[in-house]
Amino acid sequence: MTTKRPRVRLLASVTSEAEARLAAAHGADIIDCKEPSAGALGALPHDVVAAIRRAVPGHIPVSATIGDLPSDPELIGRAARAMAKTGCDIVKIGFFPGGDARATVRHLGAGLAQETQLVAVLLADAPFDRGLVPALAEARFAGVMLDTAAKDGRTLLDHRRPAELAQFVAEAQALGLMTGLAGSLRLEQIPQLLTLAPDVLGFRGALCRARDRRQALDAAAFAAVRRAIPITPTPAGSDTGLELEVTP
């Protein structure tokens, strides 16, 4: 008997309420609030994130990044709690080199992770602690993604071999974590990325005019990415591999 793999979700990073509405209309599975001009995981103002959550249909999860911050438990904790108060469904936390990532994960696990869905973002173009993945699961994070810090034209696949990415996905999923891959991903890379079976593929530049993440979303570019990621209806009660709680 052939086991059907759950479909891969399309995460679209947006900078405004208008972009969020466009992304929702063109089939984004997750709307991600991010400010490209403020770094790899630049944070949008809290009022903008709140407006995006109100503008997007309730069944579509909205995530939000908290900025490119060092791994300091108190600093990350304050930023994550403040972002959670916007009403977003998921708070994304980047783990950049330096600081104490393990202590930060423990701090969040003892508090915010009990009430808010947290997704860790590890950086594929920098050394990262693979042992952090089990720690995230123990701390009850909802998921973990791989992304890139440097937005210099290189993509995730320039920094990590497909076999490494497949291992990362498999290990995290085995621990019950949602998995995501991002990092200047291109339209032509989607077929290969789909074979790695992540739960989410994240995009910004590929959805924008001239593939420039700092420009506005482009409807034609968005439609091309959406067509490349199959949409397969999930039967009620089946395991989607993506357990996100969203208030309708």
Kindly report the average pLDDT of the chain as a whole number: 91
At residue 198, the pLDDT reads 98
Q: Reduced to 3 states, what is the DSSP secondary structure of residue 133?
A: helix
Active site residue 34: yes
Token representation of residue 57: 């249909």
Q: How far, rounded to the nearest angstrom, does the alpha carbon of residue 197 sit from its chain's CA centroid? A: 15
Residue 90 domain flag: yes
Residue 247 domain flag: no
AA letter at 29: D
**Out of 29-33, 63-67, 127-131, 174-178, least confident range:** 127-131
Q: Average pLDDT in the 83-96 region? A: 97
DSSP 217: B
At residue 34, the pLDDT reads 96
Please state the pTM of the whole predicted model: 0.91
Write the CATH number for 142: 3.20.20.380
How many domains is the chain built from? 1
Residue 241 domain flag: no
Q: Average pLDDT in the 49-70 region? A: 97
Is the Cα torsion angle 86, 13, 134, 241 positive or negative in sign? positive
Residue 46 domain flag: yes
Residue 4 domain flag: no
Active site residue 92: yes
pLDDT band at 30 (very low <50, low <70, confident <90, very high): very high
Q: Average pLDDT in the 36-54 region? A: 96
Residue 111 domain flag: yes
State the Cα–Cα distance between residues 148 and 126, nearest whole angstrom.
8
Residue 219 domain flag: yes
DSSP 237: T
The pLDDT tens digits of the residues spanning 184-217 come to 999 999 999 999 999 999 999 999 998 889 899 9
Is 172 in contact with 200 (CB distance < 8 Å)?
no
What range does the domain containing 86 cover?
9-228
> Is residue 230 over pLDDT 60?
yes
Catalytic residue among 4, 85, 92, 151: 92
pLDDT band at 247 (very low <50, low <70, confident <90, very high): very low
Closest CA relative to residue 3, chosen from 197, 136, 180? 197
State the Cα–Cα distance between residues 14 and 34, nearest whole angstrom.
6
Catalytic residue among 4, 34, 85, 151: 34
At residue 242, the pLDDT reads 46
AA letter at 111: G
The pLDDT tens digits of the residues spanning 105-146 come to 999 999 999 999 999 999 999 887 889 999 999 999 999 999
231: left (phi over 0), alpha (psi -120 to 50) or beta: beta
> Is residue 95 over pLDDT 60?
yes
At residue 78, the pLDDT reads 98
Residue 236 domain flag: no
Close Cβ partners of 132 (under 8 Å, ≥ 6 residues apart): 95, 101, 102, 105, 120, 122
